[in-house]
Homo-oligomer: A and B are copies of this chain.
Amino acid sequence: MQLTTCERLSLNQITKDPWSLKEAVEGCLRAEIPSIAIWRHKLNEIGLAESKRIIRDSGLKVSSLCRGGMFAASTAEERGRRLDDNRRAVEEAAELGTDVLVLVCGPAPDRDIDSARKWVAEGIDRLVPFAESCGIKLGIEPLHPMYAAERSVIVTLDHANTLAERYRPDQVGVIVDVFHVWWDPDLYRQIDRAKGRILGYHVSDWIVPTPDLLMGRGMMGDGVIELRRIRGAVEEAGYAGTIEVEIFNRTLWDLPGDELLSLIKTRYTEHV
């Protein structure tokens, strides 16, 4: 069913990365986009206190904080540092008033992908009690397999579900990002399996030809992903939360911000 309003729409900040947090918030207010997903490098530009003030004053809902994770490292010491950083991310998420920290779990430090996956599981396990004490749910986001070497050894919804199911749904869930999962022959079964555990739904599109591994995502409607079908499955699995538009694409970054947000809204109702 078509989305007739933008009440579930959230602007993931990376979609207009050239904007500061303040500019992104003001852009959302002008465009009447009610939610925003915040990236930590944007917090760091102005500090947490100022970020918190900007968000609170705006009245915008924060759909998630991007991102925790990056758990896999060769030494226990470095894994400890990564865990500390994840605890800071949890605190930041709580301060900003969201209840979801998105986890991009990290690549293997070497060729040993099995150990990296074990370290990811351990990292999540160590983070859960602290996150719970702060009221933050951890959303494991499986990334596209083409990011397995550089960003995440968790590359299927199957694997993310398996990790998440070790915990209660109010502790750990999964993030479904269409760009990362659309190719999966097991997709609809895994979305159904994630019932009650979906903590976020991200949209963009897969454009053909794909210009670049990282910066080649497209605007909804410009590619081949069955957006409405996947949303239907996610909703069937009980998800009624925000829908984040998360697009890494320099051409879109370079558009005037208000024009970009207007385009997002149009494509959101037409295609998502």
Residues of A at the B interface (CB closer than 8 Å) are 108, 110-113, 117, 144-146, 148-150, 155-156, 158-159, 182-186, 206, 208-210, 212-213, 223-226
- CB-based contact A210/B150 at 8 Å: yes
A208 touches which of B150, B155, B159, B210 (Cβ 8 Å): B150
Provide the residues of chain B in CB contact with A159, threshold 8 Å. Answer: 185
Nearest chain-B residue to A156 (Cβ)? B185
Known: A149-B206, A150-B208, A158-B185. 19 other contacts (CB 8 A): A108-B224, A112-B226, A113-B183, A113-B226, A144-B145, A145-B145, A145-B146, A145-B183, A145-B184, A146-B210, A148-B182, A149-B208, A149-B224, A150-B210, A155-B183, A155-B184, A156-B185, A158-B186, A210-B213
Q: How many monomers of this chain does the complex have?
A: 2
Q: How far is the CB of A113 from chain B (nearest CB, A)?
A: 7
Q: Considering residues A108, A110, A146, A155, which has the most beta carbons from chain B within 10 angstroms of its beta carbon?
A: A146
- CB-based contact B209/A150 at 8 Å: yes
A149 touches which of B111, B148, B186, B223 (Cβ 8 Å): B223
Interface of A is mostly: loop
- CB-based contact B112/A183 at 8 Å: no
- CB-based contact B149/A210 at 8 Å: yes
- CB-based contact A183/B111 at 8 Å: no
Provide the residues of chain B in CB contact with A209, threshold 8 Å. Answer: 150
The CA of A246 and the CA of B186, in the complex, are separated in Å by 28
A226 touches which of B111, B206, B226 (Cβ 8 Å): B111
Provide the residues of chain B in CB contact with A186, threshold 8 Å. Answer: 158
Q: How far is the CB of A239 from chain B (nearest CB, A)?
A: 22
